[in-house]
Structure 1
């Protein structure tokens, strides 16, 4: 088990924080299975604003993953289909116990120099 830091657009961060989005989608699975995700909100926020535990990781055909996640995906089907366009596998991290930090944290405080394109182990 490990912790990863994910770069997530602010609109989706807000949906994660308010419980509307319980799945974070990725095109690539991590080699190590994460049990916690540190949430970095991209521009214009550019700070770590919270964390979540990983309850489950779904890795399957994008259509099957959509059918399992659509009620708490935080995105519409068109966005989802475009995101996974031409991909054979979709990854969905099911989040639980989401915590919003009282004070946002800088990347450097985690020893990370720049925002990851996808993820970074911490």
Structure 2
């Protein structure tokens, strides 16, 4: 099983350029057997543009997360703490073996009844080379 994460284009660029090595989430998928994540670059791109394998998933208070990953966050502390404002727990998903897709996928063509996920959705059988 795979997961599709919706990520803003500016953060997608940072991931592809290797500056952002963790993706931050307030909530995480329940099925922890997931090991591959597809990146949906949200508006205005609206395409699936990359895939990566999950490295370590860190779960902790935002202050502790920031101390652990700040050098690989790809964002500044202001963005990080604004995102996690009021939260006592956050997640940092390690990005490993990133593969930018040669041809971005239009999800409306590949996934029946596609609706862009607010955070994430499970995928099964997306046609991408292994």
* Interval of TM-score (by shorter of Structure 1 and Structure 2): over 0.9
Deviation string 1:24-64 (CA, Å, 9 cap, x unpaired) is 00000211112111000001100000101001100111111
| Larger strand proportion of the pair | 1
- Aligned pair count reads 121
TM-score, normalising length from structure 1?
0.95
TM-score, normalising length from structure 2?
0.89
SS in 2 for 1:65: helix
CA RMSD of aligned residues (A): 1.0
Structure 2: stretches of 5+ with no match in the other structure? 124-130
- Runs of at least 4 residues of structure 1 off by over 3 A? none
The offset of 1:5, in angstroms, is 0.2
Q: Distance in 1 between matches of 2:102 and 2:2?
A: 20
Distance 1:67 1:112, change over 3 A: farther
What does residue 62 of structure 2 align with? 62
**Matching of residue 24 in structure 1 with residue 23 in structure 2:** yes
Distance 1:112 1:69, change over 3 A: farther
What does residue 10 of structure 1 align with? 9
Q: Distance in 2 between matches of 1:83 and 1:48?
A: 23
Once the two structures are superposed, the pairs formed by residues 1-122 of structure 1 within 5 Å of their partners are 2-33=1-32, 34-108=34-108, 109-111=110-112, 113-122=114-123
Structure 1: stretches of 5+ with no match in the other structure? none
